[in-house]
Structure 1
């Protein structure tokens, strides 16, 4: 289901727009004896199977359907006027004939008709121009464009997901129709949302997923619930600033108290865990594609090998790695580097500090990463990991991250903390810090801002270091026994 509550995905995977026929239009149809009077809703195909395209097409279709409703209302209303006794020219007893008013839709409609008499000519009623009030979903898109342009797609998705559930609960309405009760109903439903509902209940709306999930199915954490409430509250504050008559208190809801111990921190991999990961047959050589647990001569050298290796020896974020273009692997002053950038429209970064050069660790060079990139270039690939299918937001990180989590489950590497491949980011920072690297250099490698003290406490921060200094800092990432295990074998794109 999309952002609008009238966007639905059918079994064939195509999204459709479903619009209710306005009650006043159905009544006018019935009064004229039209067969369409029984039609209560209209379905239109967007022709799209991905949600982003369906949203764009759905907005257009909704506008077209509103226009069609208005045109039919005006036509039937004109017919009602022409059929009234007011068109009779001969004198009659003076009496008033009132034409029922045509209620307004959320799109321009015919203005209300005035009572007329048999003695007076019926004036040709010209429609009064009226402006359709914007729906909450439309205001939300304007808010995202104004306040959150350029944020990472995951954050954007979180904001859209928040409003999607709110609209499911309260409806997509003009702003002045919302009350505190609507927001309170949203707050009651939010903690019931299943964790990763989109993955476990594909094709279901959020409310449908809430109903379908078994009672013991994991729900989103209180932290996520409170984050969603904060998202709605921030939207309400923007509405108060930009829309007359709206109070931000309408969307300002009390946060939930988190139980003690619920907060989970991301813990970096230990040396022993890194040794098990980089030393397993899937990295050093296995029997076959189907049997990746038995040692052998079959070597996996596609994204499943290189994405974890890059994470382990650069400390880069998963999305930064999977969105690398071939031209982002560069040599500067004789030092091979990753250029973490967002110059392409399909690239995004968490912050301005994330834009940086990261020298390649010797372990990556020994494993043949530059040869792999050159092979990708010769194949005509634009992306370093073009073999990874992007998701609906154009990101390759979800598939790569899921594949690594499967490997962790196979190796029975869990731990008390949360996180999958992101644990390599923490592990890399731990190793650089333990080896005595300055915070400024660590921050420059991983893309943090030294001004953020909370990040400093967890990772280490700052940037702007000389490239040779950063290369020495990266080389401090040493996983003891696990350091060179992943470098065994060739560097081909696939076996």
Structure 2
């Protein structure tokens, strides 16, 4: 059933609350900034129909006649009767609603649409900090000064948070205030609009070095196909996904959601079909939809044999990888971080650094920038025509992908030896 913002009921009667824009001529008459209109005792469907018409009239400046001598009632609210004649009569307004608080807004925000657990948890943490620092005033009493103080508090050195973390927390609270203003009409404006925190990345991602890649490949996992026991590693995914990242530059989420049907043989070339064509498939941008030829080094290591071992085209390439709500590669990414640290590698390079590694290798191979963007799933630069109509031939992409070379880095054919055992 259709809904109408501001519609509410008291017993059998329906009412419509309209928040006047700041530049509305009726602001001088209705100091509260709100007009409450009685729609009478009627069905919800009829109330919505009447409410839409009355709301449009009010926003056009066609306010109902007032109680006496052109003055509003004491509360600044007037209730028109729903008679077809359009005559209005004054009535006592409904009881003023209790003060609204940001936590109530958070509850409605979580119910407004499907949100993953990490998103809700991050917003909830920011809300708790808001309540701690501000003392949790009602929304009607929340001022811009509160926002300035909260922003300074988030960035105080004693808190020990990065500028990005402070920025994210400020943004979550502002999102709730915007929701309270735009969607719920609980406040006349978003008082913290424009209050931002400049953030900077604490660590800049970089390519993997030759030594770091060799450290990774010399570990028992890749040297002996010794799959880890940790369930988050996803069995065979622990072996193949880092290698695919190293020789394709694909994002971890793109690789984890691959199905058997997404590995195609086209004109003799094995290809990763990175797509969002599926109910559970998600890509970062539309430009991320692409086909990436499988590097010959992966074929040498036995990737084609692994693919052929998966019986059904509908099966995941990594059936043992646990799925995390809202983040396809969440659990695997966590495991890879632990694995990397166990090898003596620091916070960086991480998995995403494979994208930087591949870009550098392609650039060193003098691959054109447009081809690099096509392989990595970046938005093409240049004119609109170049972005929309440029399609790269598979042969060009295959030639480009073979430019990825890592001198001084060797990988064992551990998977093939495993098949022979």
TM-score norm. by structure 2 comes to: 0.61
Residue 250 of structure 1 aligns to a residue whose secondary structure is: coil
Answer yes or no: is the 8 Å Cα contact 1:175–1:246 preserved in 2. Answer: no
Partner of 2:360: 430
- What SS class does the counterpart of residue 409 from structure 1 fall into? helix
Q: Unmatched 5+ residue regions in structure 1?
A: 1-127, 146-152, 194-214, 291-299, 454-461
Counterpart in 2 of 1:281?
220
Structure 2 match to 1:163: 123
- In structure 2, the CA distance between the partners of 1:175 and 1:400, relative to structure 1 (3 Å rule), is same
Distance change in 2, residues 1:386/1:188 (3 Å):
farther
Pair 1:253-2:187 in alignment: no
Work out which of the residue numbers 140, 153, 163 in structure 1 matches 2:109.
140
Task: Give the superposed CA RMSD.
Answer: 4.1
Q: Secondary structure at the match of 1:481?
A: coil
In 1, the alpha carbon distance for the partners of 2:118 and 2:150 equals 15
User: Closer, same or farther in 2 for the Cα pair 1:420/1:452, shift >3 Å?
Assistant: farther
Deviation at 1:268, TM superposition (A): 0.7
Matching of residues 41-56 of structure 1 within 5 Å: none
Could you say what secondary structure the match of 1:377 adopts?
A: coil
User: Which residue number corresponds to residue 307 of structure 2?
Assistant: 373
Cα deviation, residue 175, structure 1: 5.6
- Deviation string 1:131-165 (CA, Å, 9 cap, x unpaired) is 998941255347767xxxxxxx8xx6665344312
CA positional deviation for 1:185: 7.3
Is this contact kept in 2: 1:324–1:384, CA < 8 A? yes
Aligned length: 311
Map of 2:14 onto structure 1: none
Q: How does 1:323-402 map to 2 (within 5 A)?
A: 323-377=257-311, 382-393=315-326, 395-402=327-334
Structure 1 residue 408 and structure 2 residue 408: aligned? no
1-side partners of 2:342 and 2:335: how far apart?
Answer: 11
Gaps of 5+ in 2: 1-93, 384-388
How far 1:374 moved relative to its partner?
A: 2.7
Whether the aligned pair in 2 keeps the contact of 1:302 and 1:492 (CA below 8 Å) is no
Q: 1:348 to 1:307 in 2, by over 3 A?
A: same
1:287 is displaced (CA, Å) by: 7.5
The equivalent residue for 2:63 is none
- In 2, the alpha carbon distance for the partners of 1:464 and 1:420 equals 31
Change (3 A) 1:287 1:168: closer
Is the CA contact (8 Å cut-off) linking 2:264 and 2:273 kept in structure 1?
yes
Q: Name the CA distance, whole Å, in 2 between partners of 1:486 and 1:330.
A: 25
Could you tell me which residue of structure 2 aligns to residue 313 of structure 1?
A: 247
CA contact (8 A) 2:248 2:295 kept: yes
- 1:138-197 CA distances to partner (integer Å, 9 max, x unpaired)? 55347767xxxxxxx8xx66653443124334569986575557656764775699xxxx
Matching residue of 1:34: none
- TM-score normalised according to structure 1 size: 0.53
Partner Cα separation in structure 2 for residue 227 and residue 243 of structure 1: 23
